[in-house]
């Protein structure tokens, strides 16, 4: 290891940034990712996720700061970094006229793997990604999920220490996403590889050991998904009653809490919903048709730090705060 990250550090960034002309896309990024972690970059469209992965994978030149990946400096030792990383992009880069095995062997040739080693590694990686029996089939016959798994298999051909995945399950249905995640978890177990991914899917971020939340090029929060949600701390309780006005008044008078209108009733945030709901129901004098308790989500965390939800930002285009 060349820098101050230590032997167990896979990715280290200090003050890393990139501007496109006068437009800052990523600002002052500090990161430490441990070897073997599944680490996620969560943020809405335009937050700076692809730019960050581009810099760490040596495809984009930073305009500020420094970073090391697998122990090598991204600016001064880009070849050393490239040898040790795998990359899976948002857009497919497979040759659909070739078979799965040919796509992988082509990659092995690019990395100078001996023929036999390339063939063996291709079989092992196809097996790991659940594609062994499709080895000799042309990629044009593959579903979207199979293509994505094949791209991951290809990214692993040269035994990288860090695998970068830019939005690995975008455009795939929930069931296919779940299959890909099974394979990513298995990959980490069996190969001890560091997985570094970007996503704007909240469910995807939940799979990560640790995430950073990025917005407008800034890191706004960092931690395990559960620790981040614990900061928000409060469950959402939604009530559907026979008389919402009376219910709101009772909640204010008895508990000093302010319930607000929700799409399906009235809602309030409390830190211990399982303990609170029975007391609430005992105090209410109006009919209660339903009570729903929702623990905090990562979108609540995003809202907590930025004042907007990821869904809102994505729906409104490439917005940034302010
Ligand atoms: N080549 C470029 N030239 C100018 N501006 C760019 C370029 N690439 C990205 N940007 C801008 O930099 C900011 C960050 O973009 P980036 O693609 O890194 O975000 P992202 O979080 O990956 O979003 P997405 O998921 O939509 O790709 C955005 O405001 C974007 O418009």
How far is the C-alpha of 269 from the C-alpha of 273, rounded, in Å?
8
> What is the average pLDDT across 11-15?
97
| Mutation choice for ligand 1 from 42, 47, 61, 164, CB with most ligand atoms inside 8 A | 47
Nearest CA to ligand 1 atom 5: 20
> How many residues are given for the chain?
322
> Sorting pLDDT into bands at 50, 70 and 90, what band is 7?
low
In what side-by-side order are the strands of the sheet with 235-241? 260-262, 265-270, 235-241, 288-294
Percentage above 90 pLDDT, the chain? 65
- The more confident residue out of 176 and 5 is 176
Strand, helix or coil for residue 58: coil
Q: What is the C-alpha R_g of the chain?
A: 23
Nearest atom of ligand 1 to the alpha carbon of 90: 27
52 vs 311, more confident = 52
Distance 88 CA to ligand 1 centre (A): 17
Residue 160 · residue 86 · CB < 8 Å: yes
| 152: enclosing H helix or E strand | helix 144-155
Indicate the average pLDDT of the chain. Answer: 90
The region that residue 298 occupies, defined by phi over 0 for left and psi between -120 and 50 for alpha, beta otherwise, is alpha
Q: Span 196-217, mean pLDDT?
A: 92
- Assign residue 125 a region: left if phi > 0, alpha if psi is -120 to 50, beta otherwise? alpha
Strand ranges, E, within 74-174:
85-88, 162-166
Residues 162-186 have pLDDT tens digits of 999 998 888 888 888 888 898 889 8
Provide mean pLDDT across the span 99-127.
92
The answer on pLDDT for 321 being more than 80 is no
- DSSP-derived letter for residue 43 is -
Out of 18, 19, 25, give the residue to mutate to test ligand 1, the one with the largest number of ligand atoms within 8 Å of its CB.
25
Does residue 317 register a pLDDT over 80?
no
Among the atoms of ligand 1, which is closest to the Cα of residue 47?
Answer: 21
Give residue 5's pLDDT.
55
What gap in Å lies between CA 88 and CA 187, rounded to an integer? 15
**pLDDT-derived band at 6, boundaries 50, 70, 90:** low
Closest approach atom of ligand 1 to CA 23? 5
Tell which residue, 95, 93, 153, has the closest CA to residue 124. 153
Q: How far is the CA of 51 from the centre of ligand 1 (A)?
A: 6
Interface confidence (ipTM) of the complex = 0.94
Across residues 292-299, what is the average pLDDT?
Answer: 89
How is the chain split among helix, strand and coil, in percent rounded to 5?
40, 30, 35
Predicted confidence (pLDDT) per residue in 130-149, tens digit: 999 999 999 999 998 899 99
Where does ligand 1 bind, in terms of residues with CB under 6 Å? Answer: 20, 23, 25, 43, 45-51, 318
Report the separation in Å between the CA atom of 226 and the middle of ligand 1, taken as the mean of its atom positions: 28
Q: At residue 320, does pLDDT exceed 50?
A: no
- Mutation to probe ligand 1, out of 22, 23, 199 (largest number of atoms < 8 A from CB): 23
Highest averaged pLDDT of the listed ranges 64-68, 112-116, 304-308: 64-68
How confident is the model over 73-85, as a mean pLDDT?
A: 95
**Cα gap 172→168, rounded to integer Å:** 9
The atom number, within ligand 1, closest to the CA of 41 reads: 21
């Amino acid at each position: 290891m060349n820098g101050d990250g230590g032997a167990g550090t896979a990715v280290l960034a200090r003050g890393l940034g990139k501007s496109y002309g006068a437009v800052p896309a990523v600002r002052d990024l500090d990161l430490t990712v441990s070897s073997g972690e599944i680490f996620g970059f969560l943020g809405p469209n335009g937050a700076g996720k692809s730019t960050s992965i581009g810099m760490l994978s040596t495809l984009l030149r930073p305009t500020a700061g420094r970073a090391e990946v697998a122990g090598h400096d991204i600016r001064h030792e880009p070849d050393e970094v490239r040898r040790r990383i795998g990359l899976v992009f948002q857009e497919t880069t497979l040759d659909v006229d070739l078979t799965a095995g040919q796509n992988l062997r082509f990659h092995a040739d690019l990395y100078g793997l001996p023929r036999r080693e390339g063939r063996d590694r291709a079989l092992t990686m196809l097996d790991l990604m659940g594609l062994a029996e499709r080895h000799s089939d042309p990629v044009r016959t593959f579903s979207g999920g199979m293509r994505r798994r094949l791209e991951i298999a290809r990214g692993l051909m040269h035994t990288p220490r860090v695998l970068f995945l830019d939005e690995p399950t975008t455009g795939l249905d929930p069931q296919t996403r779940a299959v890909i995640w099974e394979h990513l978890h298995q990959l980490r177990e069996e190969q001890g590889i560091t997985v570094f991914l970007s996503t704007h899917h909240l469910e995807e971020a939940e799979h990560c050991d640790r995430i950073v939340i990025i917005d407008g090029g800034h890191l706004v929060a960092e931690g395990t998904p559960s620790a981040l949600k614990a900061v928000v701390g409060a469950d959402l309780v939604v009530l559907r009653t026979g008389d919402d006005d009376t219910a709101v008044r009772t909640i204010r008078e008895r508990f000093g809490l302010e319930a607000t209108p929700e799409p399906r009733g009235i809602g309030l945030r409390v830190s211990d919903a399982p303990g609170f709901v029975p007391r609430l129901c005992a105090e209410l004098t109006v009919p209660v048709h339903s009570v729903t308790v929702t623990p905090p989500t990562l979108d609540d965390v995003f809202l907590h730090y930025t004042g907007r939800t990821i869904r809102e930002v994505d729906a409104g285009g490439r917005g940034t705060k302010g």
